[in-house]
A and B are shown apart, each in its own frame.
Chain A
Amino acid sequence: MGWTCSPPRPAPRTGWRVLPARVAAMCVVELQKLRHDRTELYTRAIQPALWLLIFGETFTRIRAIPTGGVPYLDYLAPGIIAQSTMFIAIFYGIQIIWERDSGVLTKLLVTPTPRAALVTGKAFAAGVKAVIQAVVVVLIATLLGVGMTWNPLRLLGVLVTVVLGSAFFSCLSMTIAGIVLTRDRLMGIGQAITMPLFFASNALYPTAIMPGWLQAISMVNPLSYEVDALRGLLLGTPAHLALDGGVLLLAAVLGITVSSSLLGRLAR
């Protein structure tokens, strides 16, 4: 047996340094899982491809939606990036419930990891998936002839936007998981809210053509801010980048706070 004497116990990381370390640990695990099983990457590419190919191409011909001079397919592409990454994040809570039932979560909660750090780690791990998804959608859109920027700074902005948006929606999902505690209920609620979040945003059409009540909903929907930022960064259309970034950051922080306060319910 290789254990001759007890190795020295690690010196504790303290204070602010705990958070980035835990985020890194969770992201590494997410990448390892994706490396072992890439099925999800391929199947997740189908829906956005269909949206762009069928919905996008058709509505480009109809020219019914005022996009401000941008071809509709170009206008749609950032919306589909936001939508497809949100769809992944909104079901992230299922993984938390699975980890709870299997004991993985219990064990993580007995490590020197504050709950907020664990949730932040998970939220950013969901962001890893979202970034890969965003790259896939950008590639599909490029193949379909959408002219997007290749400016590295703007692409970095896209990355940050997608991660923040995904962090919020995965925390929303973990919050629901903390309330309903079962996979079936979370699936049901997830299914029920994804489409309204998608349609009550500017992903498919500008909010200006919506009825007033829907515009109001769109105003408080973080997805709208994500789409606005992605459009501005990728297409160079007028956008409110500072406001978008601020709202997304605030939403992510709020999501992390609420879902980490509910994590105790999952530990019980």
Chain B
Amino acid sequence: MSEEYGVESVDIAVKSSDQSALRRPLGLGPRIVAVGGGKGGIGKSIIVANMGMILAGRGRKVVLVDADLGGANLHTCLGIEPPERTLGDFVERRVTSLENCIQTVDGVSIGLISGARDSLNAAHPKFHQKLRLLQHLRRLDADLVLLDLGAGTSFNTIDFFIHADESLAVALPEPGAIENLYRFLKTAFYRSLKRATADDDIARLIDMAMEQRPGRPIPTPADLLNEVAKTDKERSQQLLLRMQQFKPRILLNRTRNFSDVELGYAIQKACYHYFGTGFDFAGFLSDAAEVSESTKRRYSVTASHPHSQFIRQLKAICFRLFTDA
């Protein structure tokens, strides 16, 4: 989590001036959707690929970005070869325009910017590189940009997650995956709070809250608020408003039965009482043989099983989230 300490000064510099560049200009540019979640192998890439296919099929111009630098496999989920030019080329300025990295997928209006074939160096872009990438993504000629984030809770992943217009956190109905989801959400939550605060005292308290060891001084966001309120009620109120702007959506993948679905709602409830802000439960996707089968054969599920339950559920989710995109 500390790989970025070298660029903290850059962080502070952009806080005031460039923060607006991270936000979507009203009515302009594509809507950026980040799909993350703490664990690998929970179906992020499959979801992104098939969401892209569904939205493209509905006439949207979609660009998929495999932001899992170093672990890219989105092309496989789409059933195409890894592209020539990649995100890494852009990050390391071997190409100047992101448009040059887009590989089109046959027959549909999907572009893919892949992280495949990248050197392992590119897996850790510095903050200003991420900022540049986000700015360029906002200039792409598209309705929607879907970001497939890497596994883990490093700031590489988290920064894209918190600066997207829409953030989806994927989880599986298993204790280990839920634990990872929570770690991911906690990191994103505190990271976004910290990036939004200019107050050193609060930043220090947030750092304390981010510690994960047992017996830590500030175990929950509620404790953080109480701690800030001890010295300044006003600032605690402002912090609360900040917290309430953190609104990721949770998507439960590979559900097998009704109790798995119930678990999704329980997660939502638990998060509400932990983070003090209501997360939307985007929906659930059933565990289905055709999904793994399609992946093994390197087809997208949308192409091979267009009427499967998985695709029907994903369509419903897309419809709900992106009616206005």
* A and B from one complex: no
